[in-house]
Amino acid sequence: MIKSWRGASALAILLSTLLLVCLSHREQIARGLRVSGGARARREQQVSLEDLLNDLEGAKEVEEKDEAHEEVKEEGELVSTVVPECGCEIGVRRRGSNSSGTTSDVDADRTTCGGSAFARGPGQKVIGYTFFGRPDGGGGERRYFDGIDLNAAAAAELYPGWTVRVYHNLTGDTGLERLCAVACARDNLDLCQVAETPMLGDARWILPTLWRFLPLADGQVEAAAFRDLDSLLSTREAVAVRDWTRSKHAVHVMRDHPNHDMSILAGEDGVNA
C-alpha cells in the first residue's frame, strides 16, 4: 500500500512514462521492427569466470572489426564519493550535461538510487538490475548474486560510459557485507537500497522484479537498459544496443532464441528516457 502522496506521485510518473513510450511506439513494438539479434541466450548453468574471459576476448576481436565498437572517451570530472550502504569511497566521473549538451540540475529527491549514483550527475546511461534474497540462498539466489560482479566486470569492457545499477533490499543481516565487497571494488557499479530511495522513500511495496525499471523515473538518467543477473552481458547485445542509441527510436527490444516468443522480455529491453 502506498503510504504517502510522494510515493503515489512517483509511481504515477514511472507508469505514465512507460505508457507514453509504449503508446508512441506501439507499431514498432507490435510488429517487432526494432528487434535486434544482439540478446544473450539464457544460460541454465552458473556463469563462470572462464565464460566471462572468453566473452571479453571475443569483444576485443569485434572491436577491431566493427565500427559500432568504437572507443568511448572518459567524460566529466573525476570526483570521490561514498557508497552509502558500505561507507567506502570510490571515484566516479561526474558529467555536467546530457548528450545533447544541456545542463540539467536535478534535485536528489528526483532520483531513485543513492549518493554514489547522484554524484555522477545528469545524462547517465544505466543498466538496471534487481537483486532480492540472500547471496548464499537457495533457489538460484547464489547464481543471481554472482552475476552482479560478473556483469559489472563485463559492462566495464562492453559498455564504456554506462553504469550498472543494482536495486536491492539487503541489510547487515542478509548479506550486505558481501555486496559491499563487490561495490567498493567496481567504480561502474551503484547500489540502490529500495528501502531508502530518494524519490519514493521505502519502495519495497513495489514488486521486486520491477525494481530494475526505477531508472525510468530518475531525472539524471538519459538511457536505461534492463537485464537479468543470471545472464552475462555479451558482445552481440552491446553492439545492438549501440546501434539503438544512435537511432531515433525510444525503445529497444531484443529476441534471439526460439523460446523468446513474447513481444517484450523484461530482461532484454531498453528505453531512451
Convert the pLDDT of each residue in 109-157 to its tens digit.
999 999 999 999 999 999 999 999 888 877 778 899 999 999 999 999 9
Handedness of CA 103, 105, 108, 109 (dihedral sign): negative
Is 83 a residue whose pLDDT tops 90?
A: yes
Domain segments of the chain as ranges:
5-272
For residues 82 and 155, give the distance between their C-alpha atoms in angstroms, rounded to a whole number: 21
Report whether pLDDT(68) > 50. no
**What predicted TM-score, i.e. pTM, was given to this entire model?**
0.75
Distance from C-alpha of 63 to C-alpha of 125, rounded to nearest angstrom:
20
Cα–Cα distance for residue pair 218/27, rounded to 1 Å: 26
